[in-house]
Amino acid sequence: MQKGKDLAGFLQETTTADITRLLLSIADGTRTLSHAVRNLGVLNLGGSMDVTNIQGETVQKLDDFSNNVLMELCKASGVCAGYLSEENEDIVTLDPNGGYVVAIDPLDGSANIDIAAPVGTIFSIHERLSPVGGPVNHGDFLQHGHRVVAAGYALYGSSTILVFSTGAGTHMFSLDADDNHYYKSHTDVMIPGNGKIYSLNQGNLSKFEPVAQQFIEWCVSHDKETSRPYSLRYIGSMVGDMHRTFIKGGVFLYPAAKGEKRGKLRLLYECIPMAYITEQAGGKAINGAERILDIQPTELHERCAIIIGCKDMVGKYEEFAQAVAAV
Ligand code: AHG
Ligand code: MN
Ligand code: MN
């Protein structure tokens, strides 16, 4: 079978030289991580370290390994001024002369590592706002999602897939396990509009905001016209659950809950990148009240409720939210 275009060739034709360099560096990191995930036991990368990160979560060996690999490669790109990671408390200046900053979740779905279930990497790239030649500052990272210049994720599942957008559609590349190159599998991916899947941690039902409870009730109620009840699928890594959403449609949710008004997922390196590539694929992403890409970030590691996927299902959630707000 003939292979699709390779990643470097595609990027050279579709984006700038600097973004090509940075995306190829991140892609190199994901190839290393793909190998590490598949050889976890052999490389002794399973299990946790004796530390917690800024979110208070136990750092897995693979979290730390992934962060070091990706930070080094972003630096090596020669265009990345600064780096914000789930695993670093503060931002890091990598190259004072770079024009871009990267926000990254080096290893998403850490709880899946030791059970050999899908994990991934999520990232977004903004132009820096601080003067070139000096250190980066928080303002470089606290930018609206609608100012993203490129974003994407890698999924280390039964195969390794790189999905990204540079603002002109969402594209999928598969890693060839033999020659270790990425080849195009789908360009201009569109989230199917007739999804029949909802995806969330339903064990938290009693804690979710009332709108989420109403929405779940709607998903499980019977209606021939919209093929309800819908199926519940939940992998427990955002990358895995979102990849299914891109391919099969439906909606993924991590809503606001009692005691967790902003949900669980992180705005800068989980919600914004996924929202950007979702919109580029014809979908929609909100926090319940507002478009994710229009939220003004205020903290590096802030959390954000998210309802993301095909327009119809996210639109339905919005309808419920507007009805509740009107009361
Ligand atoms: P991370 O491993 O980067 O901390 O992210 C985990 C996230 C996300 O991938 C997933 O959607 C969610 O946590 C699962 O949370 P629950 O275990 O609460 O369902
Ligand atoms: Mn994550
Ligand atoms: Mn993570």
Strands 197-199 and 231-232, by their bridges, are parallel
Distance CA 224, CA 218 (A): 13
What's residue 2's pLDDT? Answer: 86
Ligand 1 midpoint to CA 264 (Å): 8
What's residue 307's pLDDT? Answer: 98
Multiple choice CATH, 7-186, 3.40.640.10, 3.30.540.10, 3.20.20.70, 3.40.50.1820: 3.30.540.10
Q: What order do you get walking across the sheet with 92-93 strand by strand?
A: 92-93, 80-85, 100-108, 119-127, 150-156, 160-165, 171-175, 182-186
The CATH 3.30.540.10 portion of the chain extends over: 7-186
What's residue 182's pLDDT? Answer: 98
pTM tops 0.95: yes
Q: Identify the nearest ligand to the CA of 240 by its number.
A: 1
Ligand 3 midpoint to CA 104 (Å): 9
- Residues with C-beta atoms within 5 A of ion ligand 3: 86, 105, 107-108
Q: Are 284 and 314 in contact (CB under 8 A)?
A: yes
The CATH 3.40.190.80 portion of the chain extends over: 197-326
CATH-assigned architecture of domain 197-326: 3-Layer(aba) Sandwich (3.40)
Which residue ranges in the chain fall short of pLDDT 70? none
Strands 251-254 and 197-199, by their bridges, are parallel
What's residue 242's pLDDT? Answer: 98
Q: Identify the nearest ligand to the CA of 70 by its number.
A: 3
What's residue 75's pLDDT? Answer: 98
